[in-house]
A = this chain, B = another copy of it.
Amino acid sequence: MTYRLPPLTTLRLFEAAARLMSFKQAAEELGLTPSAVSHGIQTLEDWLGVRLFIRYNRGLDLTEAGQAYLPQVSEALASLARATDAVPGRRPSGKLSVSCASTFAARWLLPSLPRFQARHPEIQVSMDTRFRQVEFPRDGIDVAIRLAAGPWDGLHALKLEEEWLVPVCTPAMAETISSCADLARATLLHNVSVSTDWAYWFATKGEPEIEPARSSRFDTIQMVLDAAISGLGVGIGRLPLVQRDLDSGRLAMVLGPPIPSRTAYWMVCARESLARPEVRAFRDWLRSELPLSRAG
């Protein structure tokens, strides 16, 4: 006699579908067709003898049974994933998945990665910029690099570097700006998602907020910096993110020195992941790269 368990593969389908509340999205996540998800969940429901989902023509709902089942299945699968990741002595898989913001990927990680690859050619790094927040171990990410203040409950976290804010523009434009008043004649570049950057900077400097001649708004920090590089105006740069652009002369600081942001870059991962040599290697390499703003 043994555990009475439903077909275990169907539990993954159920978990994904219930979490995403969509067969279609679950299928995408699992690399299957929606049809496979539908079939699989039906198999599970038949085995259980109870419906787990209420199907509307558009969208889903969990039945009472599904609601009761989901958290326990989730927890069990997560627990298996953690345990599996932490099996001691596993032959390195040679793969490492790093989650970070696309800005950080483009401005720091991607340019620095060759040095990591030189040291560890056997590790195949994939960068993943889809998540703003990673759920370990569910999202299949090994390491996340995040701009935040902490704390990091139950996770391994390594503080990389404080973040600093400073206005940046092209070196040519920088010649024309020596006081806050000069900003009135410039175009200020704003980021719609972190729209308080300039206000915070003015406040910290103890200066009244300037009403500039013109201002532009961009979707991402990345685009603000690209705009500044193109000479479209003055944006708030973040150190160490723009360090490379400052070093290369594509950007110049104005009205320095930089003021501290209230956040820092952290490397975060599940404690168990440290058992994996790839993760240790990446953490050790990150440490050796500190400070991130060091010329690379």
Complex contact A84–B6 (CB within 8 A) = yes
Most chain B CB within 10 A, of A15, A90, A141, is at A90
Complex contact A76–B65 (CB within 8 A) = no
Complex contact A80–B84 (CB within 8 A) = no
Known: A76-B79, A79-B75, A89-B64. A4 touches B69 (CB 8 A): no
- The minimal Cβ–Cβ distance linking A75 to chain B, given in whole angstroms, is 7
15 sampled A-B residue pairs with Cβ under 8 A: A1-B141, A2-B12, A3-B15, A3-B138, A5-B84, A8-B11, A48-B84, A63-B89, A65-B88, A69-B87, A72-B80, A73-B80, A76-B77, A76-B79, A76-B83
How many copies the complex holds: the figure is 2
| 8 Å CB contact of A86 from B68, B82, B128 | B68
In the bound complex, residues from chain B placing their C-beta under 8 Å from that of A64 are 88-89
In the bound complex, residues from chain B placing their C-beta under 8 Å from that of A199 are none
**Residues of A bordering B, CB below 8 Å:** 1-6, 8-9, 11-12, 15-16, 29-30, 48-50, 63-65, 68-69, 72-73, 75-93, 97, 128, 130, 137-141
| 8 Å CB contact of A48 from B75, B87, B139 | B87
- The minimal Cβ–Cβ distance linking A225 to chain B, given in whole angstroms, is 28
- In the complex, A90 Cα to B64 Cα: how many Å? 11
- The minimal Cβ–Cβ distance linking A126 to chain B, given in whole angstroms, is 10
Complex contact B93–A49 (CB within 8 A) = yes
In the bound complex, residues from chain B placing their C-beta under 8 Å from that of A85 are 4
| 8 Å CB contact of A8 from B12, B63, B68 | B12
Closest to A138 in B: B3
- The minimal Cβ–Cβ distance linking A280 to chain B, given in whole angstroms, is 16
In the bound complex, residues from chain B placing their C-beta under 8 Å from that of A84 are 4-6, 48, 69
| 8 Å CB contact of A79 from B72, B81, B141 | B72
Closest to A68 in B: B88
7 further A-B pairs in the complex, CB-CB below 8 A; given A50-B88, A50-B91? A1-B29, A3-B140, A5-B12, A8-B9, A48-B84, A50-B89, A65-B90
| 8 Å CB contact of A49 from B1, B5, B65, B92 | B92
Complex contact A5–B77 (CB within 8 A) = yes
| 8 Å CB contact of A2 from B73, B88, B92, B138 | B138
- In the complex, A16 Cα to B3 Cα: how many Å? 9
A-B complex: 5 closest residue pairs judged by Cβ atoms: A49-B91, A72-B83, A8-B8, A1-B140, A3-B81
Known: A2-B140, A138-B2, A138-B3. A11 touches B88 (CB 8 A): no
- In the complex, A11 Cα to B87 Cα: how many Å? 13
- In the complex, A187 Cα to B2 Cα: how many Å? 44
Most chain B CB within 10 A, of A1, A11, A93, is at A1
Complex contact B81–A140 (CB within 8 A) = no
